[in-house]
Chain A
Amino acid sequence: MAAAAGRPRARFLVLTLVLASITLVTLSDRAGTARYFDKVRSIANEVANPVQSAVHSALRPVGNFIYGALHYGAAETEIRKLQEQVAALQTAPVVAAAEEAEAEQVLGLAHVKYLADIPSVTAEVVQFGSANFEETVEVNRGSVDGLAVGEPVVSAGGLVGSVSAVSPHLATVTLLDDPSFTVGVRDVRSGVVGAALGQGEGNTLEVQDINVGARVRRGDYMVTSGLSLEHFPAGIPVGTVTSVSAPSGALQLILSLKPFADLTNLQFVKVLLWSPQGSP
């Protein structure tokens, strides 16, 4: 009897909760009410931040100790390599100058200047996202430092992603390989323009909207296109074309793009204080 009495109540409860969830999903996606949910999310992130920092600070020495003990041999090899690198650094300025010149030459082909005159804020990556269906990191700069949603984020290697949420002292950066991420790109050599889409962690980007017959080759460099209504300024290095294929009967090429930036090992990034509205 208890079961007979309990089951309808449980069903009514779950139905109510499902309806509540669907209502929240709808409100959260609507332009007019989404900002309230963003605000709540931002507060939640701010609340968790001190705990995250404290736990990381407390666990880091333990993690380092265990890692050191387990990888003693590898650590020794690493030290030897580092010593060799220190020696090699004597010639680094010469090499760096050469690379810089080469990079300028590559970007010069596209008639763009990398980050010229765009103010930026340097931020440290404090947390990698723990969700499996989105690729994000958190950085230790927020709205008090001038950050806003939509601003491009770059590292030494090139484009990293864009700011997707901001709280006073933190910002969430959606990475280039996030499946919801799209950026307009231009082939430096041929000038062909397409759209690069993230395909999940560790996967190359997929470039679409390039017609069959376009002179794009494997090994070509791609930079942000900076076309009007784009969310990124022109000329930020994005990646190298790793494969070009044209399925029979298809009207468009399928390109894979390997990002220049090492997205799995980010420590410091630059947030460009740039918006499409404010651009010249």
Chain B
Amino acid sequence: MTKPALSRSLKVAAVLLVGIFAQVTFGSDLRVDGIAPDFMMLLAVCAGFAGGPEKGATVGFAAGLISDLYLHDTPVGLSALAACLVGFVVGWGRTQMLTTRLAFAPAVAAAGTAVGVVIFVVAGYIVGQAQLIAPGKSWLVQVAFIEAVYSAIFALPAVALMSWALGTVMPAAAEPVPGAAPPEVPARRRSLAARTRRRRRARVGVR
């Protein structure tokens, strides 16, 4: 492993540790209507948003696995599966976007978290965790909605943390993801830039 890669891995591990300690220390204190935020799912979504599909899947898997260690009713690996898939899907979605803006982060975090909750419950039910659906569909919708709102609230600092850990440029800079199509500049902005260049040339006497 190269030195920058090792440094990135250590930073990601540190961010995940902060996430899990936040979850187990005051996650339960933030309950709304009995539902707590899921910081680890949020970090998985942010890894996909900030780093693309590969990093999203890898960091999501690690985040879910750590999360599994603090659950008791469900088997180890279930959260890892859900978070890995969500990280990958969000990362893949990002590569399909023409531009990525930080302003999208709350919406992406909310949608990604809601999808993660559904994957967790459905996958759990498939492997025999019937208790996950025992409280009914309305409870599942409620959990997905409140967790999504929480993720939207905490999305910006989480994306910033994950971008720092992964060593990626903040999405606000509209840096293209490797492999994605180059960001398109709107026509109005192109004409403004051209006019500015013409004025500068005129000022310095360049013809």
Contacts and interface: CB of A to CB of B under 8 A. Distances in A.
A227 B73 CA distance: 25
Main SS of the interface on chain B? helix
Query: In the complex, which range does the number of interface residues on chain A fall in?
Result: 35 or more
Contacts of A13: 54, 57-58
A52 B25 CA distance: 5
B73 A178 contact: yes
A132 B57 CA distance: 23
B58 to A, nearest CB: 7
Interface of B: 20-21, 23-29, 34-36, 38, 52-54, 57-58, 61, 64-65, 68-78, 80-81, 84-85, 88, 91-92, 95, 117, 120-121, 124, 127-128, 131-132, 134-135, 139, 143, 147, 178-180
Given A14-B57, A24-B75, 5 more contacts: A17-B58, A21-B78, A27-B76, A40-B76, A197-B134
A7 B81 contact: no
B82 to A, nearest CB: 9
B68 to A, nearest CB: 8
A134 B180 contact: no
A28 B27 CA distance: 25
B74 A133 contact: yes
- Please give me the 4 A-B residue pairs with the lowest Cβ-Cβ distance, nearest first: A24-B77, A3-B179, A130-B27, A200-B135
A240 interface: no
B76 A25 contact: yes
Interface string A1-39: 011111101100110011011111111110000000100
Interface in A94-129: 127-129
B123 to A, nearest CB: 8
Contacts of A55: 21, 25-26
A14 B70 CA distance: 24
Contact of B21 (A3, A29, A48, A63): A48
A224 interface: no
Contact of A2 (B24, B54, B61, B178): B178
Given A21-B84, A22-B77, A200-B134, A59 B26 contact: yes
A203 B54 CA distance: 41
B69 A41 contact: yes
A86 B149 CA distance: 44
15 contacts: A6-B179, A10-B52, A10-B53, A13-B58, A17-B58, A20-B61, A24-B68, A25-B75, A29-B75, A37-B76, A45-B69, A48-B24, A133-B121, A133-B143, A134-B74
Contact of B53 (A14, A128, A134, A179): A14
A155 interface: no
A130 B147 contact: no
Contact of B72 (A9, A172, A179): A172
Contacts of B28: 127-130
A180 B72 CA distance: 11
A164 B70 CA distance: 13
A180 B131 contact: yes
A21 B61 contact: yes
Contact of A165 (B52, B72, B124, B135): B72
B75 A28 contact: yes
Contacts of A130: 23-24, 27-28, 36, 70
A210 B178 CA distance: 63
Nearest to B53: A10
A44 interface: yes
Nearest to A36: B76
A200 B136 CA distance: 9
Given A41-B69, A44-B70, A200-B134, A21 B77 contact: yes
A22 B120 CA distance: 12
A199 interface: yes
Interface string A127-143: 11111111010000000
A81 interface: no
B88 A10 contact: yes
B29 to A, nearest CB: 8
A256 interface: no
A20 B38 CA distance: 22
A166 to B, nearest CB: 11
Contacts of B135: 179, 199-200, 203
Contacts of A22: 77, 81
